[in-house]
Structure 1
């Protein structure tokens, strides 16, 4: 994984903390969002741990730039700032996780493993707030657009997307719809292509917007 944080003590602390897990490897640690694309090109991390506030390019902008690339690594936003504005922008930018820096080390490690495997990971508080984004007054202009986009999906794809919107994992979706995990992953790939999205968190937000 690649650590991106402008605080040298935080970078060192994360490297030390994550170094205790045998299955996780820190390939680099950098101090600004402006360094992300070159670092990803040279180090090829599977997951990027991204701070938000940095001097040149902030972590949310860096996430948008990174996720717009072909075959980008997964991004977990790891920050002290958890305003709804930051959470919403991070999720729509394509981040697969959003955790606070006081999250216990074991949970951060678990989150890295999950997003590397294609599963989203949000802290419980952030999950509640993401789900609340859909609970906005009728007439939200996003609703019609979300429903139009979901209309691109086949019945089977839409069934998978709805369960993604409920926060189900691939294995849970497979059990619900009597599919293998490989089939669910194939459906997810087609869903992302048709909806022009980059990860399942964005699919979940779109499903919520359409409700």
Structure 2
């Protein structure tokens, strides 16, 4: 199933590239040419505060071509204003945007050094232990070390009711956590009462469960 989907996707992308008569040269993923940063439509380009990302086109579609093609059709308009240089984007130092948890450069500027140091530390540990656990599938509930650290932290806050690491599950974010709750704790024909002002992605996540009733 996965192989069939990938082959179909590659074929479609290749046909799309040929149908546009694009030469084997650099072109922009948005197909809008070279534009100043504040006119870019691809949210990815704002991450590095550069112009629209360029993609190399070859006879056989590469992953860069696939990513570029997908960027043409998968731009999330609801989040567009955060990254495209508009009046309320997260890179404006004079605006404190509370719309989405997307921190600005002042909070992220040290991340490269932090991640580089953490990566070196972890790879050194992998070589010394000679186990290479880092490159294996991890525990279903998440890293044991992370769950132990979180349990220890919350146990210090709730002394009378300590938190156990085996009761914790690490998710990739709030949306996945909400999906877990909806798919495991609620009846398929259940009812959800939602505040008038709520987490913006929560409603979209709930709507995926078509048998649930959402009451604002």
* TM range, smaller chain: under 0.3
Larger relative CO (CA 8 A, sep 6+): 1 or 2? 1
* Greater strand share, structure number: 1
TM-score computed with the length of structure 2 as normaliser = 0.26
TM-score computed with the length of structure 1 as normaliser = 0.27
Q: Considering only CA atoms, is the larger Rg found in Structure 1 or Structure 2? A: 2
